[in-house]
Structure 1
Amino acid sequence: MPTVLGGLGLDPEDPGQYRAVDAGAVGGGTGHPRLSPLETLPAWPRGWSRPSVARPDRELMSRRPAYTPLLAPLSTAALLEAALAGTAPEGEVEVETTVDFLARGLPLTELPRRMLRTLRHGVQILVDHGPAMQLFSRDQTQLCERVEALVGKEKTELLRFAYAPLRGAGKGPFWTWRTYQPPPRGSAVLLLSDCGTIGPPGDHRRSRPAEWREFAAEVRRHGARPLGLLPLPRDRFPAWLPATMPVFAWDRGTTVGHVTARVAPAQAGCGANSVLGGEG
């Protein structure tokens, strides 16, 4: 509260008068004048245009926020099926192809059939546990559960790695990781990683493009299909990454149609999907 000081016959508007007071006679020899309030003025009124922010609710702050998955829940199963399914000659008999082989006198070891989409080849999930993906650990766990529910636990292999799979991968703690082994022919290899595109600045362990090119080539040599989900927008993908393998933005803007169009060429090039059971 502002006050008007008095008691010494001094004008508060003229601070210089204080220097004229005998310091020894005032204030008990302390060198400071003893001042007493003359009157109390009313507080200056304050008017706010907006009400103040309410204090945080402790009970509300203690609650764990609701989990919102990165992919739209209603379309996640269809999106995963479009990305992970391979092809196999298990449809109707290809009559025209059969007649053509017989007309040319070629041996017909088995009936050629139309290609059908299937998940029976299985899926290998590679979960990146590097520092850049720590924020998305809950999303990784949730997506692995969705894949197991879709493909089947016996057809799903879950491996962990950090930075790049070729540096080592395994099912348990990092000290048990061994040299990475691609899955059987026809399988899909799903990466839940940033592929070295994000992470702490100055991290010398961050993966390099050459490591991912070598990884994709190794997977394809075994007849499997690599693809990745990255937790960043599509326009932030480096140019080399989509040219290496199919990759998708791990967010709700990714649609089933986009995934289907992107993985179709890879599905046609891997697995037991050639006519008469040849190598595809």
Structure 2
Amino acid sequence: MDFSLTSRDPLPGAVEGRGDGSGAPAPDPELLRRGAVTTGLRHEPPWKRDWERGVMFAAVATTAESTVYDQPALLRKVARQEVLLSIPRRRRLTTRRGAQLLLDHGRAMAPFQDDRAWLGELAGSVAGRDRVDVLRFRGTPHRGVVCDDPRVRDPYRPPAPGTPVVLFSDLGRLRPSFASGAVAEQDEWRTFVDSVIHAGCPVVCLTPYRPTDYSAALRRLVAFIPLDHSISLRHALEATSRVRRALEGA
């Protein structure tokens, strides 16, 4: 639902009049810019402040070998009398691959526009703004994506293999009235997810819905992290590690 908010009372700290004799305070030009809320309402992050960076780290991180030897794995190989071609090392989480962040600008996600902007900033601060490729879309990314100029829609291309693809979307769960073909069907989303996994990229979805609201087939392929204040860092790590292991096993 598209909507806007307008303040009926004087803004705090406003002392100048409009100059029309009404005595009403003059609006701050900065507050009238697109996307600003003129009521002074503060955005409340959907995740706990102590955990928000950790949850985002779990979404954009990938695994890489560390310099520490994996002693349990080494002992298992020795016990099975396997030939040691190399010494196994422990794997650790890293953000050095960056991430591709796909932001859904469809009508169903309009109430979450503040969360959308907040997640974009958070992803950049965690993984590095120069390593996060932010793209906007409607329907699904296969219908075209926007990078900078909203008048130019480019064909979607998955990132380099191993790079996390992080979606901020409901994946067609909510279907606004009169949206018709603007909302993608589940089959279209499944085709998109399959293409990204085929390119060697894990898929993470930040969604306003619970993971159980999606089909079991989709949950096997996508790590769902809900926009929920009760979300735990453990849930985020388990969900993303599951899809990474499945991709590495394939």
Residue number in structure 2 paired with 1:189: 165
CA-CA distance at 1:82 after TM superposition: 2.0
Structure (1 or 2) with the larger CA radius of gyration? 1
Contact 2:223 2:242 in 1 (8 A): no
Deviation string for 1:28-64 (max 9, x for gaps)?
Answer: xxxxxxxxxxxxxxxxxxxxxxxxxxxx982369642
The within-5 A match list for 1:226-241 is: 226-234=203-211, 236-241=213-218
Contact 1:226 1:246 in 2 (8 A): yes
In structure 2, do the counterparts of structure 1 residues 202 and 111 end up closer, same or farther at CA, with 3 Å as the change threshold? same
Instruction: Identify the match of residue 141 of structure 2 among 147, 160, 165.
Output: 165
Residue number in structure 1 paired with 2:200: 223
CA-CA distance at 1:98 after TM superposition: 11
| Count of aligned residue pairs for this structure pair | 215
TM-score (norm 2): 0.75
| Runs of 4 or more above 4 Å deviation | 97-100, 103-106
Alignment partners' CA distance in 2, 1:66 and 1:163: 29
The within-5 A match list for 1:20-169 is: 58-59=9-10, 63-94=39-70, 96=74, 108=85, 111-169=87-145
CA-CA distance at 1:251 after TM superposition: 1.7
In structure 2, do the counterparts of structure 1 residues 136 and 237 end up closer, same or farther at CA, with 3 Å as the change threshold? same
CA-CA distance at 1:250 after TM superposition: 1.1
What is the DSSP-based 3-state SS (H/G/I as helix, E as strand, rest coil) of the residue aligned with 2:236?
helix
Contact 2:159 2:201 in 1 (8 A): yes
How much identity, in percent, do the aligned residues show? 26
CA-CA distance at 1:83 after TM superposition: 2.5
Residue number in structure 2 paired with 1:265: 242
**Structure 2 regions of 5+ residues with no counterpart?**
1-6, 13-37
Give me the CA root mean square deviation. 2.8
**Structure 1 regions of 5+ residues with no counterpart?**
1-55, 272-278
Letter in 2 for 1:72: K
Residue number in structure 2 paired with 1:177: 153
In structure 2, do the counterparts of structure 1 residues 94 and 74 end up closer, same or farther at CA, with 3 Å as the change threshold? closer
Alignment partners' CA distance in 2, 1:162 and 1:199: 13
Residue number in structure 2 paired with 1:211: 188
Alignment partners' CA distance in 1, 2:242 and 2:64: 14
